[in-house]
Every structure is written in C-alpha cells, then in structure tokens.
Amino acid sequence: MTHALASPPVGVDDVDGALVCTAVNFVTHDVADFVLEAEEPARFSFEPGQHLTVTVPVAGQRLSRCYSLSSPPTRPDNLTITVKRVPGGPVSNWLHDHLRPGDLLEVSGPVGVFTPVAHPCAKQLYLTAGSGITPLMSAARMLVDEGRPADVVFVHHARTPEDIVFRDELDRMNERHPGIRVIVVCEDDAPARSWAGHRGRINPVLLARVAPDAADREVFLCGPPPYMEAARACLALAGVDPVRIHEESYVFGGASTPATVLAGVEATYSVELRRSGRVVHCPAGTTVLEAASRAGLPLPSSCREGVCGTCKTTLIAGAVDMNHAGGIRQREIDRGQVLLCCSTPTEDLVLDA
C-alpha cells in the first residue's frame, strides 16, 4: 500500500487574508502571544522588526491595527504577534477577549522598514519599553537562533517586575548568548515582588552606565511616546548621530491629517473613484484620503501615516507623490498600488475604489 507524500510547505512572504490562530500564550498578566499559521503548510519569509496589520470586527465596524512580529524569521512555520491589552483599545481588547485557537484572523503583511537587517553594523543598541519590546525581540531571537557573533546591548524598561514582557527568556538570553547583554529596568516594585535591578525611567546617567559607547552603536528604539521622547533626549546628550537612530511607533495621530500647505501652489486635482462612481477634488499638497474625508466619503484607513497598508488602492491613471513609512512593498508599487493616506496628486487621478 502506498501513501501520498505530504506537500512541502509553500514559501510565503505576503499575506493578505486569513491565518489560523493556533495558540494563545500569556507572557504577563495583560500581554499575550497570538500564534498564527496558514491553513495549508507554509513557511513565512520576513525581516525582524516588521509588522502585520490586523483587522477585526468591533461593534459592526472593521478596525485595523499594526502589531509587530515577535517571532523571528528563523522560525518560519508561524507568525506570532504579542499584544498588550490596552484600556479602551478596541482591537487589543477584541483579540484578548475573542481570538482563540482554531479561529481565523484577517491580516496583511508582513511589512515595515524598522529592521536591523536594513542597517548592518558591528554594534547595536536596542531601547524598548513595555510592549515595544516585540520587534526587537524578533531580532534578538534571530541572533540567538543563528548563533552568530554579535554585540548588542538590549535595554528594556517596564513599570514593575510583573510587567516585564518575556522576562524568563530575557534572563536566559543574557546568560547563554555572550554577544547580547540584556539590562532590564523597572520603575517600581510590584505589590508581591520587589526589584533588585536597575530602577527608574530612562535618563542620561542610566544610559551612560549601561551603554557608555552608545555613540558608536546603531540604535533601535520602540516604546510609548513619552519613553521615546525621553530616549531621544538621552541619545542626543550621548552624542548619537540622529541618522543612526531608528524608531518604530504605532501610536498614530488623530482622525484627520492636516493638509500640507505649499506656498504659491493653488492647483486642484480631480480624483475619480471608479467603483463608487464618485469624483472628489484634491488641492495640491493634500492627501487623497484627506480630500475624500472632507468630501464626506469614508475610505478604509487606520494609521494615516503610511505604516499599516489599510488604505492600499490601485492607481488606474494619473500620478502621485507618495511618502510612505513601510506600509507598502516595492512590488506593489510596481503594480500601480498606492497608499491614499500619504499620497498627494501631481495629476488628475483615477482610482480603483
């Protein structure tokens, strides 16, 4: 009797549809890993630091958010996002409350330009706080899996010992990989657990103590906005060239992005939305998404900063100036796709929307 051989896993570097949740693992009291796999055997290809855009149904609406991959490219059988339950955050709370093993989750990606792979260097400094650890955990895990020589100072800030994401793994990483030096800093003790390590928030004295050669390192920074602002100030005092500082943040601005004012330019372009049959007028320097919003025509969007890819649309005719932040791949641009949130017309447009 002969047995059919299982098909080899398909190589996947672009997901635009549903993945299966195969596990939910809590790493702190309010942070969980969601492990995602393809419905058919697949091996995913991506860069450490890239993210997925997740879309879920909340109160009759489809809401999208970006979540960095915490799994490394060296473990390609699944994609793992690590999500903190944010008070009032509709998508993070939906994931924690509803997504269970066996469920399907709508995603697109992985995309993004925040990756150490794009900035090869001999010495690196990772500065993270809270769930901002996830993209750089992907990078650190890849270094551990590959066993390559490295010189990484990995500084992670948490509110209390109970809020340290990946605490046990960080301890093992520090012990077993001589090229990765992990420093965890807590602001305060937890109710049932004291902290004997570095304390407080990021500050110039702390940075000088844990990374005295910061100016010689390529820096990767991710965390809440107040943390990132304080870290930038510390890095400036340490003499780090801003060109060597790379940041990731998914805390986006308000619902509307103000138009860019271009002195002396008064041109207005027509934008035909072919499928809806609508035409809107877009002043020079104004994004297509903003013009549509002003005309009372809501289009799918989330970040409004060229990161998430939710507003990706095919440009049938015309030309735009697009200033994205990693939410679209070059091959998609080559196929005529654009992100409406960061595209300003330079000609009249026809869109497949």
Of 42, 76, 111, the residue that ends a domain is 111
238 and 335 in a common domain = no
Question: Three-state secondary structure along 201-254?
Answer: CCCHHHHHHHCCCHHHCEEEEECCHHHHHHHHHHHHHCCCCHHHEEEECCCCCC
**Residue ranges making up the domain that contains 311:** 268-351
For residues 205 and 320, state if they share a domain.
Answer: no
Residue 226 shares a structural domain with residue 126 = yes
Residue 102's contacts (CB-CB under 8 Å, 6 or more residues apart) are 20, 21, 22
Q: pLDDT per residue over 193-225, tens digit each?
A: 899 999 999 999 999 999 999 999 999 999 999
Residue of 46, 109, 35 lying closest to 78 (CA atoms)? 35
* Pick from 54, 161, 168, 49: nearest CA to 113: 49
Could you tell me if 137 and 107 lie in one domain? no
Handedness of CA 193, 196, 198, 200 (dihedral sign): positive
Task: Find the CATH number of the domain harbouring 310.
Answer: 3.10.20.30
Domain boundary among 87, 111, 135: 111
Per residue of the chain (353 residues), what is the pLDDT tens digit?
444 445 667 777 889 899 999 999 999 999 999 999 999 999 999 999 999 999 999 988 889 999 999 999 999 999 999 999 999 999 999 999 999 999 999 999 999 989 999 998 999 999 999 999 999 999 999 999 999 889 999 999 999 999 999 999 999 999 889 899 999 999 999 998 899 999 999 999 999 999 999 999 999 999 999 999 999 999 999 999 999 999 987 655 443 333 333 334 457 888 999 988 889 989 888 899 998 888 888 888 888 888 888 899 999 999 999 988 888 988 889 899 999 999 999 889 999 98
Structure token digits, residue 232: 């930038």
Residue 289: inside a domain: yes
pTM exceeds 0.75 for this model: yes
Torsion of Cα atoms, 138 then 141 then 147 then 153, to 10°? 80
Pair (221, 319) in one structural domain: no
Looking at 57, 92, 111, which one is the last position of a domain? 111
- Residue 32 and residue 126 in contact, taking contact as beta carbons nearer than 8 Å: no
- Kindly state whether residues 206 and 326 are assigned to the same domain: no
CB 48 within 8 A of CB 139: yes
Rounded Cα gap, residues 246 and 230, in angstroms: 15
C-alpha–C-alpha distance, residues 134 and 324, integer Å: 22
Amino acid in position 170: L
Domain match, 240 and 130 both: yes
Residues 220 and 126 in one domain: yes
Question: 156 lies in a domain?
Answer: yes
CATH number, residue 60: 2.40.30.10
The tally of domains found in the chain comes to 3
